[in-house]
Every structure is written in C-alpha cells, then in structure tokens.
Structure 1
Amino acid sequence: MNEITVQELKEKLDKGEDFQLIDVREEFEYETSNLGGQLIPLGGILIEADKVSKDKPVVVMCRSGKRSAAAIMQLQQLGYSNLTNLKGGILAWAAEVDPTLNVY
C-alpha cells in the first residue's frame, strides 16, 4: 500500500497540487478537527465510492492511519489504483505539522 507522510501531504497542499483528500473518520471527529478533505466515513466508503476520484491521485486519511488503510483495501477491490494512505493520520499532522490542531 502506498503511504505519504504528513510532511509530504503538507508540501502537496502548499504547492496546490491537484489531488483529492478523503477523510474516513466519523462526522463528530471531522467536526473536532479536519484538514479540509471530503468526509466519507469508513462505514459508507463502498456505498459512496462514486465520490472517490479515479482520475487523479487520492490521499485517504483518518485518525491514525488504520481506518484509511482499511478503506483503501476496500476500494482497491473495486479497481482503484490511485490511492495513498496518510501515515499516522491526523494525530501525526497535529504532532509534526500543526500542534494547535485539536486532537482526541
């Protein structure tokens, strides 16, 4: 499985690269803190798979990287090959990029 570090994600965001960021946490988690990605909770990832781009790179994130890895495995069964997991999730982002971010 492809992975990206939070520093690499920050570079992509800073450069304005064209990619999709999917957050597979629950709505209450997203409301606490998010990086501006599209919210598609893990439980609905297959139902809402049509919202995940096949035409550009997609970074999938969660709290720690475990749920996003599970989402990627599910989507790969539908033929997705453009997915990258955010290593360490939002916890790593808060620890390494933005310590002011609310985490839980």
Structure 2
Amino acid sequence: MTEISVEQLKARMDAGEKLNLLDVREPSEYVEFNFGAPLFPLGKIQSMQIEDIEHLRNEEVIINCRSGKRSMMACMLLEQMGFTNTVNVVGGVLDWQEKIK
C-alpha cells in the first residue's frame, strides 16, 4: 500500500488520468458528499465480495473513505487477496472538503 494526499489525487484527476477509484464508505455517507469515486462499501471487501473489482487486481486502485482509516483497512484486505497496487487517500473526504472544495 502506498498513500496519496487529496491534493495529489485532485491534480491527477485534473490532468485527466484514468484512475481506478473506490469509495469504501456507507451509501448514506456517499449520498451526502462524494468526489466521483464509485461506491464500494468496505463490508463488501470484508465479506470477500470483490467480483466487481477483480479485474483491477494488477492495476493501481485508489481507495478513499471519510478519514483514511477504512480505506487503509480496505487496502490491507485487498492486498491479502492478491491486489498488487493499492493506494490509500490520506485524510479521506474530510481532507477533500477542507482543502479542495
């Protein structure tokens, strides 16, 4: 697992990079605010329901949550399942709202 700041992520998004983003928060949190990453709740990863993201196993997967803790857990779990390039968004949505929006 590596880490990325919200500023670094925003710069990559603004540059038009094709990014594999996942938001591992709960649906209610996602509805309140998101920055475009598809919703993939942590519970799906914990219960190994990863069929929808299996194709990303050998690609960079950037994961965010509210503060960076659940996304870190998601990165660790996915690495245990064989994902080779997980990236945790440090500070998560809280940092995004404070520093970007």
Calculate the TM-score normalised by the size of structure 2. Answer: 0.90
User: Partner amino acid for 2:88?
Assistant: N
Identity among equivalent pairs (%) = 44
Unaligned ranges ≥5, structure 2: none
For 1:74 and 1:43, how far apart are their aligned partners in 2? Answer: 11
Q: 1:30 to 1:96 in 2, by over 3 A?
A: same
1:5/1:87 contact within 8 Å kept? yes
For 1:33 and 1:14, how far apart are their aligned partners in 2? Answer: 19
**Displaced runs of 4+ in structure 1, greater than 2 A?**
none
**Aligned residue for 2:68?**
65
Q: What number of residue pairs does the alignment pair up? A: 98
For 2:78 and 2:58, how far apart are their aligned partners in 1? Answer: 14
- Residue from 76, 95, 98 that aligns with 1:95: 98
Task: Provide the aligned C-alpha RMSD in A.
Answer: 1.3
Alpha-carbon distance, 1:38 to partner: 1.1
**Aligned residue for 2:23?**
23
Equivalent residue of 1:47, what SS?
coil
For 2:18 and 2:51, how far apart are their aligned partners in 1? Answer: 19
1:1-104 aligned at under 5 Å gives the runs 1-45=1-45, 46-51=48-53, 53-98=56-101
Structure whose residues are more often helix by fraction? 2
Alpha-carbon distance, 1:57 to partner: 1.7
For 1:61 and 1:49, how far apart are their aligned partners in 2? Answer: 19
User: Partner amino acid for 1:10?
Assistant: K
Alpha-carbon distance, 1:3 to partner: 0.4
1:4/1:85 contact within 8 Å kept? yes
2:22/2:37 contact within 8 Å kept? yes
1:49/1:75 contact within 8 Å kept? no
Calculate the TM-score normalised by the size of structure 1. Answer: 0.88
2:5/2:90 contact within 8 Å kept? yes
